[in-house]
Structure 1
Amino acid sequence: MAVAAPLAGQVALVTGASRGIGAAIACELGQAGATVVVNYASSAEAAAAVVNRIEAAGGSAWALQADVADEAQVDSMVKAVLERDGRLDVLVNNAGITRDGLVMRMKTADWQSVIDLNLTGVFLCTRAASRAMLRARQGRIINITSVVGLFGNAGQANYSAAKAGVIGLTRSNAAEFAGRGVTVNAVAPGFIESDMTAELDQEPILKAIPLGRMGRPEEVAGAVRFLAADPAAAYMTGQVLQVDGGMVMR
């Protein structure tokens, strides 16, 4: 007898899902049986390609544009999901940007844009989605943070601060929502293969990773799938799963 997909009949919204880790997460949740809402800010063509990948594998998905740093757009996005699909079971807050630079030279606009999208965006999406989840008395929220939110990183004060804030927000929301059956957890990737990391000097990075290699987007997606779909994760909330090859052992 075939085993039912763990997220069959459920709806998952993944922000920043048109490329990289977000796209891998969207495809993974599609394979788990969810109807996946592929959020994107400006890359409509890339988002459509992710939708096509999910559908080609037998899943269900559709794309939805919204800037997660914009309160009105976030509220409209969640409203559109509920109107079209009738429910929202899983939220993955993945959307993020970097604007790297040393603090003494960092422009206020570069600080603020990273905080607005990477931290305030998580708050806005969580607030909007949690209303439906709390009414339904079930739901799973997974926030993508970073190992730099745990230990900081020179030249990334804005990004590190935002990702550390996501961890605090995760734990606060976990405490608030637990009584209504909604879990809130985070995944903290280390160095993951991407266009951005391909441009870095990899030798010192690999020396700092006990497993001796970069991670793959699919490995982050696997952790998200566990938190979203595995019944064993139902008793986990307020946790941060590090997917970093052993880079940060705490």
Structure 2
Amino acid sequence: MSSRARHVLITGGSRGIGLAIAQAFAKQSYCCTLISRSTENLETALSTLTPTASSTSRHQYIVGSITSPDFWTTTHFKERGLGKGEDASKIDVLVNCAGITQSRLFTTTPAEDIQSIIDTNLTALMLGTRFLLRNKYLHSTTKSRSEAGPDFTPCIVNVSSLLGVSGGYGAVAYAASKAGVLGFTRALAAEYVGHGVRVNAIVPGYVESDMTKGLNTSQLQDRILLKRFGKPEEVAHAALFLAENQYAHNCVLNLDGGLSAV
């Protein structure tokens, strides 16, 4: 049994897959901290989470852009809530879920759009993870393992995309950024294992979300063996599995309904 609520930090946690992940973790008695740019979306998201049982730790959020140069700073985090209270200062699970998509041919994509996609989907993910590791928000000690539960080790879950493996028409910069997420996952898993932190990734195919609105759904579903898009809740189950299974390290979990088999 853990002596405190486990704490999960989720970027892009106010809607879509990120919110579904928060809801899944909250149901398992995790304390959730959500990061997003919209206060309104974050407040709505928090209202959907199962309340924590702990009197010393509650769900919270941090408003801001993860691509902002001053976002990943200790001062900023403490001002915005993280670090207030003994429970809140320790992160057991980091889910890097924030991301933006693309639907434009590469040669017509403005340079600033390419830069924005890479900054959001890859650079901010790396800088945020580095900040949390450097400042001991996310680390493993004998004390932290005993508090979080027997033999529980901190875990990073990076949300990539099937396009990062197979490529995709009209999504060159997006595919490149998500391929980078997988490279980052594998390299960090090898480099940081000595610090007692597990690193894993999820590779979703097409999932019902704001990102897939406007796509030719029927045509895409015909290519998927299960003949449907995935649900955010199904990706959330995968994130929870990777966090809780203590043998999951350098695990790249494919969730595409069979699309990559054809």
Length-normalised TM-score, structure 1: 0.89
Extract unaligned runs of 5+ from structure 1. Answer: none
Question: Which residue matches 1:245?
Answer: 257
Matched letter for residue 246 of structure 1: G
3-state SS of the aligned residue for 1:98?
A: coil
Is 1:26 the counterpart of 2:31? The answer is no
Asked whether the equivalents of residues 14 and 34 of structure 2 are also in contact (C-alpha less than 8 Å), the reply is yes
In 1, distance between residues paired with 2:221 and 2:53? Answer: 37
Q: CA RMSD in A?
A: 2.2
Give the alignment partner of residue 219 of structure 2, picking from 193, 197, 204: 204
Letter in 1 for 2:141: A
Mapped pair 1:134 → 2:129: no
Q: Which residue of 2 aligns with 1:15?
A: 11
Which has the larger displacement, 162-171 or 95-104? 95-104
Residues 140 and 197 of structure 2 are in contact (CA less than 8 Å); yes or no, is this contact kept in structure 1? Answer: no
Q: CA deviation at 1:58?
A: 6.4
Q: Distance in 2 between matches of 1:7 and 1:187?
A: 29
Pick the aligned partner of 1:48 from 28, 43, 49: 43
Moved over 3 A (4+): 55-60, 76-80, 134-138
For the Cα contact (< 8 Å) 1:18–1:47, is it kept in 2?
yes
Q: 72-81 or 195-204: which moved more?
A: 72-81
Change (3 A) 1:130 1:7: farther
* Residues 67, 74 of structure 1: 8 Å contact kept: no
Aligned-pair CA distance for 1:72 = 2.1
The alignment covers a number of residue pairs equal to 242
Pairing 1:90-109 to 2, within 5 Å after superposition: 90-109=93-112
Shift of 1:100: 2.6
Identity value in percent:
36
Cα contact 2:101–2:211 (8 A) shared by 1? no
Query: Does residue 1:63 correspond to 2:66, yes or no?
Result: no
Once the two structures are superposed, residues 164-219 of structure 1 have per-residue CA deviations (whole angstroms, 9 ceiling, x without a partner) of 00000000110111112100000011111123423211122011111111100000
- Equivalent-residue separation in structure 1 for 2:41 and 2:171 (angstroms): 27
Higher helix share: 1
1:214 aligned residue (214, 218, 229)? 229
On the 8 A contact 1:91/1:129 being kept in 2, the answer is no
